[in-house]
Structure 1
Amino acid sequence: MNIIENPHRLGTSKCELWLCQFLHFLTCKKSKRLEQIILQIEEDLEAIKNKKV
């Protein structure tokens, strides 16, 4: 999984989302960067689901 180096986020997957959510949980929800990544992945998955890519 390529979280940081993928600028277009076309390869976003649910597995990547779950991994980020798990890491966010392990850091006791203190990481703001992980929150931003999770939000971006959720938006990308929604766009792919609605075929707005």
Structure 2
Amino acid sequence: MNTLRSVVRGHVLLPNDPGFDAARRPWNLAVDQSVMAVVEAADADDCLCRLVLAPVVR
């Protein structure tokens, strides 16, 4: 997760971070999604970094 935090400009929230539970909450509350991190992208490059790093971070 440190790699993710070092390459994105936006916020990266992890399970112990304040605001994580609210940020990970899906729009459909009938579905609970287990996530390792939430990226609040600052720009399109942040979105691209998240897609590229997704297989590596797991």
Do they superpose with TM above 0.5? no
Q: Which has the higher strand share?
A: 2
Q: Which has the higher helix share?
A: 1
